[in-house]
Structure 1
């Protein structure tokens, strides 16, 4: 009975998502807004905000400003902007932070460019609530130390109106339905972003909407390269590289607790027996991954679990993503795990679905290859250059 109630509620939520799809198709203003974003950003005479070295900056309700050319280290959340409009963040470097490098909460019309961040405990860039109409480009983030989803290199977070800035980053995730979490990051472009060697994911999308990502490099992250989760919809990843993710090396007791791995064996090399894929779709709808190079991820190239609806996977080169195979858990390059509660998060009952069981998944012209056919990564890269879908 509980399972039927879950599926019925999920069907109602999916109707809302289909209505949103119809709205987007008939009201292209959001796409035009992104294409003309430069008109909404501050020009050369905009006010400059000075940042003291090793300091922190918090702004609320400000507009038409630029923050640039600073190095921040050994502080909490370095730059926190709340309800700000029309601004640029550029040429910023940060390291050894106890929180996030940049937090945007309910912000609009912005550009973030030329950012480097190393060894933040949480995400380099966290975008929470109704943060929208932005461009993020030329970002290099590496070695984020936190193991939870909120600590991914870049973190997009939907929330209910109850969440405040004081809850970021530790308390902003809410275990609620996607319809209750009505504030969501939306309509953003990511270009030339590298997120590598993080303890969590390279990019974690929690309820994001209409995110366009291209020329992204996600490599050697302990969890997924990228995860589309918690109602993320109408987002696209293209022309990107996702390599050597998901091996869950040197797993800690905190990670065991956070990721429900209590009953999962630890292998002799210190990693978890259950690896994760390069790309994961979990409670997500109408997303696309096209023209990507997905190689040597521990738990498969692409996986769908619980609820992945209307996803397109096309023109991707997938090379040797089954290396995480062991006697406990077998791995394929592509998997649809449907309603399975693999790790027992819900006591092996039907999970509380947001969108219904996975269905209407499309795979078109992907090329899964085992390494015996390609003698080197150089050969892989050459083959990837020859594949369609990269333009």
Structure 2
């Protein structure tokens, strides 16, 4: 690594991504250790867990306004059990510090609370919420500037955003949460959050198609949050604020572990990481999302993606014309089945550096298995099983097992940059100094591995590539790349009819 020379070195040293890396609070040495995920989990084991050591009091009312008055009389350190099977959300309920609110599967009807959160944990400490079913909540739970918070055993149906954690906080655990048919994002983690454990989540069928509407969105986007948090605040955080410049670095979530969860059938990505640092995504099922399964985007660096199953993503079957126009791919049109011509990969990296993608099963995705879109530097793609990830091959695009890319700015963006109407908030550079090693790449990919134009100083070794439609490796670059020790056999040229006839005699 670090072999860049001449023009390539100058491009790297002057890039926004390089400048960003020098500011990050997590070093590469902290994530490259094979024990790093277990060290993080051991750290998170010390997160706050509710106990029943304190007094248990029972609330028997039927509205959140009654519950709010009840909580004013409850001593800190108590567990409040809700006896009613159903509550009406007629106001936002503020959860005090050192209170465990336990619902015993109480249903909360929240359709009349359109803009404000149902539950608010603001400037709270050692508070917990468990055992509720939220029905038609536009904004379920907001955690803001709070530490040592536990959210567990919750269900959200037919609402907007289930959980939004914003501004700052830490020692946050969200577990055993089930989300269905939300307008998304399902869960948003934004701001200076440290030590976050997300596990045993089941997030399916979110309805929003842009990147900010993924099942789980983790972002370092910043915004003016002086006003109360509402659905409009969440919309701004996941639209115009989402794609701020990658340099300088603004403080974002770190030491986040996502594990043992399912992200399936969402209209955008399963997991969208925007500017993420030090996030571990491990042992999850990422299935049938309409865009990428996992996307490390917009300056994401020093993250670990380990031991996940990423399957059947990227077909863009549910995207409207407006969705495709927003993603700048409507001009490519649609296929006979109504899906978009431009497909997406199982795992994508764009303006991403020093991430480790290892020991995943990436199979039967539409548009590439693992794709380094552009400006991807020093990522490690190791020990993955990559199978049949060209399900979206068509007359316009063909797809590969691993693509080391060099996508420039889209025509619409390039025009704005050239005319001075737009200052690029990220880099449009070829991908360099990545390692693709010891992967098994099998199945009907058009090519097993593709090096796009001007990609340089990448190391490709010890990979096994078989059953591709064309070559095991194709290259459109004249730059130096190290390719050695791989197990593959190049396809022989197709024989002529005369050659085949000679072989019969």
TM-score by length of 1: 0.86
Give the one of 148, 154, 174 matched to 2:210: 148
Deviation by residue 1:347-384 (Cα, 9 ceiling, x = unmatched): 4979653495421111111111116989xxxxxxxxxx
Question: What runs of 5+ residues in structure 1 fail to find an aligned partner?
Answer: 375-391
Deviation by residue 1:53-103 (Cα, 9 ceiling, x = unmatched): 124111210110110000001121111111111011110011100x21111
In structure 2, what is the equivalent of residue 385 of structure 1? none
Once the two structures are overlaid, the 10-residue window that deviates more, 153-162 or 263-272, is: 153-162
Shift of 1:131: 1.7
Report the 3-state secondary structure (helix = DSSP H, G, I; strand = E; otherwise coil) of the residue aligned with 2:19.
helix
Once the two structures are overlaid, the 10-residue window that deviates more, 345-354 or 257-266, is: 345-354
Shift of 1:9: 4.3
Give the one of 431, 441, 446 matched to 1:358: 431
In structure 2, what is the equivalent of residue 380 of structure 1? none
In structure 2, what is the equivalent of residue 176 of structure 1? 244
Report the 3-state secondary structure (helix = DSSP H, G, I; strand = E; otherwise coil) of the residue aligned with 1:170.
helix
Report the 3-state secondary structure (helix = DSSP H, G, I; strand = E; otherwise coil) of the residue aligned with 2:291.
coil
In structure 2, what is the equivalent of residue 48 of structure 1? 100
Alpha-carbon distance between aligned partners in 1 of 2:17 and 2:173, rounded to the nearest angstrom: 37
Shift of 1:276: 0.4
Deviation by residue 1:148-199 (Cα, 9 ceiling, x = unmatched): 1111111101123535644542111343212345031111111101000000
When residues 352 and 135 of structure 1 are mapped into structure 2, their CA distance, relative to the original with a 3 A threshold, is: closer
Report the 3-state secondary structure (helix = DSSP H, G, I; strand = E; otherwise coil) of the residue aligned with 1:35.
helix
Report the 3-state secondary structure (helix = DSSP H, G, I; strand = E; otherwise coil) of the residue aligned with 1:155.
strand
Deviation by residue 1:252-292 (Cα, 9 ceiling, x = unmatched): 02212221123111111111101000000011111111111
When residues 174 and 137 of structure 1 are mapped into structure 2, their CA distance, relative to the original with a 3 A threshold, is: closer
Report the 3-state secondary structure (helix = DSSP H, G, I; strand = E; otherwise coil) of the residue aligned with 2:322.
helix
When residues 291 and 312 of structure 1 are mapped into structure 2, their CA distance, relative to the original with a 3 A threshold, is: same
Give the one of 317, 322, 338 matched to 2:385: 317
Is 1:187 aligned with 2:193? no
Is 1:38 aligned with 2:17? no
When residues 91 and 321 of structure 1 are mapped into structure 2, their CA distance, relative to the original with a 3 A threshold, is: same
Is 1:157 aligned with 2:209? no
Deviation by residue 1:212-259 (Cα, 9 ceiling, x = unmatched): 111111111000000001111111111110000000004202212221
When residues 325 and 359 of structure 1 are mapped into structure 2, their CA distance, relative to the original with a 3 A threshold, is: same
Give the one of 347, 367, 371 matched to 2:440: 367
Alpha-carbon distance between aligned partners in 1 of 2:388 and 2:430, rounded to the nearest angstrom: 28
In structure 2, what is the equivalent of residue 109 of structure 1? 171
Alpha-carbon distance between aligned partners in 2 of 1:266 and 1:34, rounded to the nearest angstrom: 44
When residues 11 and 235 of structure 1 are mapped into structure 2, their CA distance, relative to the original with a 3 A threshold, is: closer
Equivalent pair of 2:12/2:18 in contact (CA under 8 Å): no
Alpha-carbon distance between aligned partners in 2 of 1:195 and 1:175, rounded to the nearest angstrom: 23
Is 1:239 aligned with 2:307? yes
Larger radius of gyration: 2
Equivalent pair of 1:306/1:353 in contact (CA under 8 Å): no
Give the one of 376, 385, 398 matched to 1:330: 398
* Matched pairs, number: 369
Matches within 5 A, 1:78-227: 78-97=140-159, 99-105=160-166, 106-160=168-222, 162=224, 165-166=229-230, 168-172=233-237, 173-180=241-248, 182-227=250-295
Equivalent pair of 1:34/1:133 in contact (CA under 8 Å): no
Is 1:280 aligned with 2:348? yes
Alpha-carbon distance between aligned partners in 1 of 2:437 and 2:381, rounded to the nearest angstrom: 6
In structure 2, what is the equivalent of residue 307 of structure 1? 375
Report the 3-state secondary structure (helix = DSSP H, G, I; strand = E; otherwise coil) of the residue aligned with 1:58.
strand
Shift of 1:296: 0.7
Alpha-carbon distance between aligned partners in 2 of 1:193 and 1:314, rounded to the nearest angstrom: 22
Alpha-carbon distance between aligned partners in 1 of 2:443 and 2:17, rounded to the nearest angstrom: 39
- RMSD between aligned residues: 3.0
